Amino acid sequence: MKQVYFDNAATTQMRNEVVECMTKVMINNFGNASSSHSYGRSSKSIIETSRKAIASYFNVSASEIVFTSGGTEADNLVLRSAVRDLGVNEIITSKIEHHAILHTIDQLVSEYGILVKYVDVKSNGHIDYSHLETLFDTSKKQLVSLMHINNEIGSKLDIKRVADLCNANQVLFHSDTVQSVGHYKLDLQDIPIDFLAASAHKFHGPKGVGFAFIRKNSGIKGSIYGGEQERGYRAGTESIHNIVGLEEALRLSYKNLVRESDYILTIKNYFIERLVKAFPNVTFNGSSAIEDESTYTLVSVCLPIAPEKASLLQFQLDLKGIACSRGSACQSGSSKSSHVLSEILDDEHLNRPSVRFSFSTYNTKEEVDYVIETLREFVES
């Protein structure tokens, strides 16, 4: 059976070079970085070299990069400390954020009684920037948390515009950049963002490692207590091989960025072209099919399939070896639809099967052809 992986927004295949460098470190550099002997010093040196390299891609100081277990932990670290330690009493966000943001905010409301304001989201999946400006309130200590690239529909936030707005209004700005780091360059000297979160497995690195960017002198404090690792932000013995794997994956992603992004966009556009030809009544969620308004890595599709067949769609795709992500309740068996799609779709389209297809440099046009033919066979059967 043919295997096609079109779920790269969920996780990506590790590059061979990343596996090789991680394996080398696991074999040769097993010392605890907190130990004072040569084994520990060697491990510590490797970690700090990786930290400096990662910081250089964002034009920031190495001390502003804090290694975490991934994007979720980085989001939690920033949001919880902002409320607990910085005195933030109101968070501005949107209802289409990742659950790492939304569920953390819900918990902070429960624990600290903070206020939450939601910026309006347009039907194309973009926030209303004019509405955002009306939410600023100098009488409160506010933090804005808006993701750069939406993980379900691929809409792009004008992150520079939001950062400048927040900076002008003395409002802290945090962004979940899990879907953009490794896919877009971010100069954090030009973009006055205070905090961001990233995860290695979204750009062909290992799972279980990511980082938070924390602007120096922000006042953010750690949430995991124990030793003094990561300058007190995150206690616990560092996972050296994962940190090295993160750095190598990021290095290769940015080294190959122009070539690979052009190639992936070609795959996405070919997928859209073939899909529209096969299903003239297909629609695309948000602006995921509009090149200038969405990421080049994914497209969210609402398929014109009868409700009685919709429940079988994901099963049939999986049966044919095709990996992708469900986007609505009608084919997931869930009692809840996607919280993102619920914000932007009308009832008619929300009740149709939506599927997210996300691409990487390892995908081919031949795979697109196979997926389109599989969909056609399913609809016509």
Would you tell me how many other CB atoms lie within 10 Å of the CB of residue 91? 24
Asked about 324 being catalytic, the answer comes back as no
Catalytic residue among 21, 166, 302, 330: 330
Alpha carbons 358 and 203: distance in angstroms, whole number: 12
Alpha carbons 381 and 370: distance in angstroms, whole number: 16
Beta partners for 127?
121
What percent helix, strand, coil does the chain show, rounded to 5?
A: 45, 15, 40
Token output for 238: 């560092």
Distance of CA 23 to the CA centre of its chain: 26
Largest CA distance in the chain: 68
User: What residues have CB less than 8 Å from 1, skipping those under 6 apart?
Assistant: 320, 321
| Neighbour-count burial for 222-255, b at 16+ CB within 10 Å, e otherwise | bbbeeeebbeebbeeebbbbbbbbbbbbbbbbbe
Amino acid at 249: A
Distance of CA 255 to the CA centre of its chain: 20
Where in the sequence numbering do the catalytic residues fall?
330
